Amino acid sequence: MLKNVRTGSSTLAGFILAEQRHFPTATGDLSLILEQIAFAAKIISWEVNKAGIANIVGATHSSNVHGETQQKLDVFANTKMITALDHLGLLCGMASEEAEGIIPIPDKYPKGKYIIVFDPLDGSSNIDVNVNIGTIFAMFKKPSGTVGEAVPQDFLQCGRSLVAAGYIVYGSSTMLVYTTGRGVNGFTLDPSVGEFILSHPDMTIPETGHIYSVNEANFSKWDSITQAYVEELKNNTETPYIARYIGSLVADFHRNLLKGGVFLYPADTKNPKGKLRLMYEAIPLAYICEQAGGRAIDGKRDILDIIPDAIHQRTPLIIGSKRDVERYLQITEDNRAEKKKGSKKT
């Protein structure tokens, strides 16, 4: 049962403050950034919930850096994230999936030591059909540890360097899930008081799930390893799996985090380097997944071990319950061993 809101101990702000006490040298800067992200999420949630009756549904006449047509809510969410964070004096730079280059902190504001990257509205193609969408974010420190304007190279850090990551899912309720490296906790927005309330403490993903989430329409475009893996899940009579695919990464991941399972967006003949963005989608969710006891790979290596080459780099992603992901790796190893064995015979 949730604690009384009036105590403050079950609100996001109260929880963040309690967590801060575990770090004697903490300045409170990271806490303030997290609270501002929550503030932006409340505004975005409000707009999402009235999207059907307000003039904010539909496409704009512009495209983002990836050549994708921007939805009106994409632009709105991107703007709200930037304006909620750029004036704090705690960040040295930002990067968004919707922006071509890094987003500098305006000259009129002081610079801090933190870097933030975010996907302001994941799954935005589902807006006009009222399907769950979300926001994903991740934070690093400037590698030099100094205060000052960030340069592009400062953003190219592997996920092991993260100091925090999280997501907000806008659905039947609005939930914020985040980690600072001390486990994963989820908060549900109570619209009656306008506060995020701790609703899912110490979130862990089951070691083995029973859900697989993948767009099977792309089956013919996958490599033989991915095809074999999905076929094995479908035909597993010992532990039957069910297919659940929303097509909104945050929503699919959130469901599997709670219930156990695996999400796949593998490389294919159309997207040989993968489709999802490493920095804005894969790295933040991989960090959360590992903190919850799961695993995330690009098919061969852990997502958190990849050092990005560019801020808009793409990647394949297999993420979810630890044993489910490790089974994909085992099939990969078996395939490699079989090929090696065959080559020796010839």
Number of structural domains (the chain) is 2
3 pLDDT higher than 70: no
Last residue within a domain, chosen from 160, 177, 200? 200
336 pLDDT higher than 90: no
Last residue within a domain, chosen from 180, 200, 220? 200
d(CA 254, CA 179) in angstroms, rounded, equals 14
For residue 70, what pLDDT is reported?
66
Q: What value, to the nearest 5°, has the Cα angle with vertex 163 and ends 304 and 208?
A: 45
For residue 204, what pLDDT is reported?
98
Asked if 143 and 274 sit in the same domain, the reply is no
> DSSP string of 205-240?
--SS-SEEE--GGGGGGS-HHHHHHHHHHHT-SSS-
321 pLDDT higher than 90: yes
Nearest Cα residue to 37 out of 135, 105, 159, 124: 135
Six-digit token pair at 197? 């309330």
Q: What mean pLDDT is predicted for residues 139-159?
A: 91
Which pLDDT band, with edges at 50, 70 and 90, does 112 fall under?
Answer: very high
Kindly state whether residue 25 falls inside one of the protein's structural domains.
Answer: yes
Helices first, then strands: H and E counts in the chain: 8, 16
Asked if 176 and 248 sit in the same domain, the reply is no
| Percent of all residues in the chain with a pLDDT value above 90, rounded to a whole number | 77
Asked if 228 and 123 sit in the same domain, the reply is no
H or E segment and range at residue 18: helix 12-20
Is the Cβ–Cβ distance between 178 and 138 less than 8 Å? no
The better pLDDT of the pair 70, 202 is held by: 202
- Residue with tokens 């532990």, as numbered in its chain: 239
CB-facing half-sphere around the CA of 22: CA atoms within 13 A: 8
Task: Report strand pairing: 295-297 vs 262-265.
Answer: unpaired
For residue 50, what pLDDT is reported?
76
Asked if 42 and 185 sit in the same domain, the reply is yes
Q: For residue range 47-97, list pLDDT tens digits in order.
A: 888 765 555 555 554 555 555 556 788 899 999 999 999 999 999 999 999
Type of residue found at 108 = K
- Cβ-based neighbour number of residue 133 at 10 Å: 28
Q: What mean pLDDT is predicted for residues 240-248?
A: 95
C-alpha distance from residue 243 to each of 19, 48, 212, 225, 229 (Å): 37, 27, 5, 19, 13
For residue 22, what pLDDT is reported?
85
For residue 144, what pLDDT is reported?
78
Q: What mean pLDDT is predicted for residues 201-227?
A: 97
Q: Domain with 82 in it: what CATH number? A: 3.30.540.10
Kindly state whether residue 183 falls inside one of the protein's structural domains.
Answer: yes
268 pLDDT higher than 50: yes
Asked if 293 and 172 sit in the same domain, the reply is no
For residue 26, what pLDDT is reported?
83
Six-digit token pair at 33? 């950034």
For residue 128, what pLDDT is reported?
76
Domain of residue 323 covers 211-345
> Tell me, what DSSP letter sits at residue 278?
I
Asked if 186 and 310 sit in the same domain, the reply is no
Nearest Cα residue to 66 out of 276, 218, 297, 273: 276
For the chain, the average pLDDT equals: 90
Q: What mean pLDDT is predicted for residues 275-300?
A: 98
Last residue within a domain, chosen from 170, 200, 230? 200
At 276 the three-state DSSP class reads strand
